[in-house]
Chains A and B, each alone.
Chain A
Amino acid sequence: MSKRTIQLEVLRYRPEQDKEPFFQTYTVPCEEEWVVLDALNYVKDEIDRTLSFRWSCHMFVCGSCGYKIDGEPKLGCKAFLRDYGDNIRVEPLDNFPIERDLVVVIDDFVEKLQSVKPYIIAKEEKALAAGEYIQTPAQLKAFKQYSMCINCLLCYSACPQYGLTNQEFIGPAALALAHRYNMDSRDVGRSAREHVLAAHEGVWECSFVGACSVVCPKDVDPAGAIQQAKFTSAVDYLTSMVGIGGK
């Protein structure tokens, strides 16, 4: 079978030498099974060693290779060439500063992730000798979906609020993760997370466009998590008004 040839149009930006980002086009002979990441690796190995991009697992789980492909945030390892035409445009994710070529600066996200206290806050420390917490499949299901986030940041790239608020909005993945711990039967940390979630930049900033859930490669549904969190946040607010402590 003859190989297909594509034109890969890649946004380049090397801060030490380029005043502005620009597109560079590479002609890439491809195997029919390839994903966009394979084409980028072909460029790196055979055409241009100066092109930089992040990648590792090639199986949708490490979250490294988020790029904007033909205008949509995608994982490079999950963007199959068979679904694209012969001209494919690859850009860094939106809403993050470009560090170099397709590599973006994600410091802001890492800080936001930390701000929601994404770990179990237990009522009291349980001794290891006492064994595991009992958690029924139904209790597991209550948060499992929100624990599937691979931090690929496609949702931040797609989120209009994150861009409009100049990155003030905590954003989909971090909020979904906060919700994941809030919903975990082993956790009592909701009040400790509440000041972040209920803050102006927290869940209320979300305008429920739902773009985050559309682009999520792991079906985490951050938009759904945020809607649920809005509800519990409102309940927390009301119960605090009448003097009944929340969780």
Chain B
Amino acid sequence: MQVIDADIVIVGAGGAGLRAAIAVAEADPSLHIALLSKVYPMRSHTCAAEGGAAGVVKANDSLEYHFNDTVSGGDWLTDQDAVDLFVNEITKELIQMEHWGCPWSREGSGHVAVRPFGGMKIMRTWYAADKTGFHMLHTLFQTSLKYPSIKRFDEYYTSDLIVDDGACHGCTAIEMRTGEMKLFRGKSVIVCTGGAGRIFPFTTNGAIKTGDGMAMAYRAGVPLKDMEFVQYHPTGLPGSGILLTEGCRGEGGYLLNKDNYRYLQDYDLGPATPTPVLKSMELGPRDRLSQAFWQESKKGNTVQGKWGDIVWLDMRHLGEKLINERLPLVRDLSISYVAADPVTDLVPVRPVVHYMMGGIHTDINAATPIAGLYSAGECACVSINGANRLGSNSLGELLVFGARAGRFAVEHAKTVKAPRDALVTAQAADAEGRIKALFKRSGGKQRVSQLKREMNLSLEEGCGIYRDEKSLRDTVAVIADVRARYRDVTLEDKSSVYNTDLYQTLELGAMIECAETVVHSALLRTESRGAHQRLDHVERDDVNFLKHSMAYYNPNGDPRIDYHEVVITKSQPAARVYGAAAGGQAA
């Protein structure tokens, strides 16, 4: 097996991975960086983020406000030391993006413009029209080309981390063009592989978001934290699941039920004012809005469509000029996919799986419990999002913690002694052996697409916006069954070059592992908090559950679920307040 040596190995080249790579290159240009990704960097799903990135910049705002919005938005399951650090560092990161060329939308004065976003008390969301993630990703990718120490390995599928004696020494990855497995040895490894939204059937997430990195770290012994907290974004297009940014509502869009009534006023989010008020109505947090949809649906107030129940997103009053200027992609997507022009028509929407609050357990330095293993971005859980992420905090998160992962990985690399080569080589050979065994397996009756479908539907039915013990137990059983049958999947494509049958099969394995952590963590959390709503345990229970779920891999059965303290520094748990009582300003 070919061995590629680097100082820092980064798996994933989306926003977090690229930001980490640049941080490493700037901290010490002499370090060799291997940046691996299963896609070309510009295909990474950061590109699909639309609305913006929050950072305190205007005179009427304060770090304390951003802190409080984020902590209460996360229903106090956030680690407050991490949030504190995040709100302190994010604005500097956004300015850095500006210096690197990110085309932020501007005020007439030439300063960056900000827009209102859900759950935020003050307008603080920087944006580049409705393609913020796209512009950030391309800015980071293009900027990364400046640094000769960043060597990219595009279209390499990373299969396993190499961990020995509590420390990570690299990974194995398959070059997709040839099918050859290679061993990447590094002193520090950073996992930035994104979320796992594809475990659900109806999601804004691209095909690549299959939780590979989460599963890899999980198998290597790192707990996956708070996996039961899955964010439904309130406004996805029915059928395709395409995201319509929260910016639609930030700019003043309404959500209407079948009677053209702004139903959010019935869910402690009102009053319904004609122009947006921060932290109220359509600018409430995503968990509350998605739950309100579910309640309306139960009341029979939604509209039944071919692709499930919908409500209407009304942007007609915003006018063509504003829509073209600030929401051009939304207009393009709506016209193309649902034949509704936001300028003249109501656009059908329904909640759609969007983001995993949980992920690879890290501390505020992006370090996992395994020495030399770091993680940042959606795949990580540093716990700034708690039980519900506020829109426009994730693009910031990947910058702040991507950069920190890079810097701390550099520090760690200075201290590393040479690993035990024989053990590293043996682990790589094991990883290769597993792939070879998969190629040799024959006669299996199980089809990847069928297993994926069963897993998807079961999660949506049993572990969606609302859950209860029975629905979760049913889902646990389905996932266990799918996991057992997965061992009998046979590759129909035995070739080496760009074999997507192989990669989809490996991705399904990762998704099953992520799914089991989601559903087991959800089953044991007998309370309702943020995005985790139990019909049989409707109250938040701070006595028993103001703590992080920690799912540990068990190769022979269900994951072991443990708990970890939440860091509380200055904000004691209280009721989450939105609508009139929140005192939000007019946007």
Give A contacts to B, CB under 8 Å.
14-17, 31, 33, 44-46, 48-64, 78, 80, 99-101, 103, 105-106, 110, 113-114, 117-120, 122, 126, 128, 131-137, 139-140, 143-144, 147-148, 150-151, 177, 181, 184, 186-187
Contacts and interface: CB of A to CB of B under 8 A. Distances in A.
Contacts of A113: 142, 145
A120 B243 CA distance: 31
Nearest to A143: B103
Given A52-B498, A58-B242, A136 B110 contact: yes
A184 B47 CA distance: 21
Interface of B: 39-40, 42-45, 47-48, 92, 95-96, 98-101, 103-112, 131, 134-135, 138, 142-143, 145-146, 154, 177, 206-208, 239-240, 242-243, 329, 332-333, 336-337, 447-449, 491-493, 495-501, 504
Contacts of A15: 497
B498 A62 contact: no
Given A14-B495, A64-B39, A131-B95, A118 B103 contact: no
Given A120-B99, A120-B101, 18 more contacts: A15-B497, A16-B496, A50-B492, A51-B500, A52-B499, A53-B500, A56-B43, A58-B207, A99-B497, A110-B154, A119-B101, A119-B146, A122-B99, A132-B98, A132-B104, A135-B110, A137-B106, A181-B101
Contact of A61 (B106, B154, B329): B329
A114 B207 contact: no
A122 B142 CA distance: 15
Contact of A62 (B45, B105, B109, B239): B45
A126 B101 CA distance: 12
A181 B139 CA distance: 11
A120 B96 contact: no
A176 B43 CA distance: 19
Contacts of A133: 98-99
A73 B226 CA distance: 44
Give the one of B43, B100, B143 with max A CB within 10 A: B43
A184 B401 CA distance: 28
20 contacts: A49-B491, A50-B492, A54-B43, A56-B45, A56-B206, A60-B329, A60-B336, A61-B131, A64-B43, A99-B497, A105-B177, A113-B142, A119-B142, A119-B145, A119-B146, A132-B95, A132-B112, A136-B108, A140-B106, A144-B103
A78 B39 CA distance: 20
A61 B128 CA distance: 14
B108 A137 contact: yes
Contacts of A80: 336
Contacts of A99: 177, 497-498
B48 A57 contact: yes
Given A45-B449, A140-B106, A55 B207 contact: yes
A196 B422 CA distance: 48
A137 B113 CA distance: 10
A134 B111 contact: yes
Nearest to A217: B332
A56 B207 contact: yes
Contacts of B332: 60
Contacts of A135: 106, 110
Contacts of B491: 49
Contact of B43 (A49, A63, A187): A63
Contacts of B40: 106, 110, 151
Nearest to B207: A56
A144 B479 CA distance: 47
Contacts of A64: 39, 43
A131 B94 CA distance: 10
Contacts of A101: 498
